[in-house]
Amino acid sequence: MTGSSELELLLEQQRRAARIEPGIGPLDLPGLLAGSTPLRGGPRAVLAQRLWALQPEPPRRLLLLPALQLGGAERVAANAAQAVAERLGSSDTLILATDRLDRRAAHWFEPYGTVAVLPELADGELDREEMALLLAQLINWWQPRAVFNSNSWAGWRALERFGRALSRRTAWSVGLYCRDRGANGLPLGHADRFLRACLPWLERVLCDHQHFLHQLEANFALPPSDVAKLCTLYQPVQQPLMAWEPSVAAGQRVLWAGRLCDQKRPQLLAAVARLRPQLHFEVYGPSVAPERWAAWGLDRPNIHACGPYARFADLPHGRYGAMLFTSAFEGLPNVLLEAGAIGLPIVASAVGGVPELITEVTGWPVPVEVDEAQNLALCLDRALGERAEAQRRSQQLRALLQRRHSADAYWRSASAASSFFRS
């Protein structure tokens, strides 16, 4: 293309396209005239070639997540990949970790599709804006039937920049689970950063509980057309339901399991342990530095660090008389689904979606109040001391899990909600 009339026609087409999608322009005329293309050479081209070697054919489904890490959003993504693979096959699903190099949860995904960690394929040479741009180009070329984004920053950013064009190529669903908070207590995260701009291009917003969707509806003053895109998708329990059989000494031991971070309020766990020095609190989770452990107040003789775990079902749950769950904000934690499936009596901070699972019928929910540590300790006394009542509430929780969190119930809801779960 060297003639002036052809060049003017190209520029006019670009101007018209830019009025529809501002992210299209401006054109790189020197590059065009030199015969170059956006992916000719450079880190993006190398990454694309390596990805095509893994996935020669365009995928029918694209599952996006930030990393293959052991986290709640990744568990939701793994549940989706497993359900699709078991019912529709795994050959058409491409699973992309876009933001960070972390493979600890790779075993959650590898049986259910082709798995790629983009920062690994890129040798760390692409910043996140470049990764989002490449992702948009790949989706534009592949045109998969559906995309499900479970907390991938690059996925959100690609949709924010090129939403009008990308939504014409594929049906987009996203997972949103709770509103994170910064050190100053103010909300942050994907909902506040991206949702308003991306809602017009989304087929569905999926959440593992109802509470946060009600928050989004109210906080963003959503019109009915956008409210209709919000859908609760309760997650399946990934282990058989069983009756809890505690050991004789279980009445003196309490289980705490999860990530040790400020969100999980380890200081609150320490406060409860101070109030009940006769109990032993055994903590399972990734190791933290000794100075951080001490700063949270966990360096008490009745708090014991037991290290990380791969599967909750592998923990010696018969040792414990109850599980204690503490948190400042939540979605609907998978660890509570797993503890309920095993039959452990649960005492939990009633935040986020927790009260949709742990109620006065199924456990001991404790509202966030000034005397929350005291209330948690009192509920532990009941869970450990009233064995018949603890068994009754645990049975009610298992009944709820069987009814609402089975694999079949999950699939019925998922396939009705999102194109990602359809053939």
The pLDDT value given to residue 39: 60
pLDDT-based confidence at 37, cuts 50/70/90?
Answer: very low
Lowest mean pLDDT among 1-10, 196-205, 209-218, 350-359: 1-10
Mean pLDDT within 163-188: 86
Spatial separation of the C-alpha atoms in residues 395 and 88, rounded to whole Å: 33
Q: Which of 101-105, 151-155, 180-184 has the highest mean pLDDT?
A: 151-155
pLDDT at 5 > cutoff 70: no
Please write the tens of the pLDDT for every residue from 274-313. Answer: 999 999 999 999 889 999 999 999 999 999 999 998 888 8
pTM for this prediction: 0.85
Per-residue CA distances from 45 to 28, 40, 41, 124, 408 (Å): 17, 6, 5, 14, 42
Average pLDDT, the chain: 90
Token pair recorded at residue 291: 């100075």
Q: Tens digit of pLDDT for each residue in 40-93?
A: 568 888 899 999 899 999 999 999 999 999 888 999 999 999 999 999 999 999
Q: DSSP H helical segments within 206-283, as ranges?
A: 211-219, 224-227, 266-275
Cα atoms in the 13 Å half-sphere on the side-chain side of 46: 12
Q: How far is CA 24 from CA 14, 38, 132, in A?
A: 8, 12, 14
Residue type, 268: L
Tens digits of residue pLDDT in 374-384: 999 999 999 99
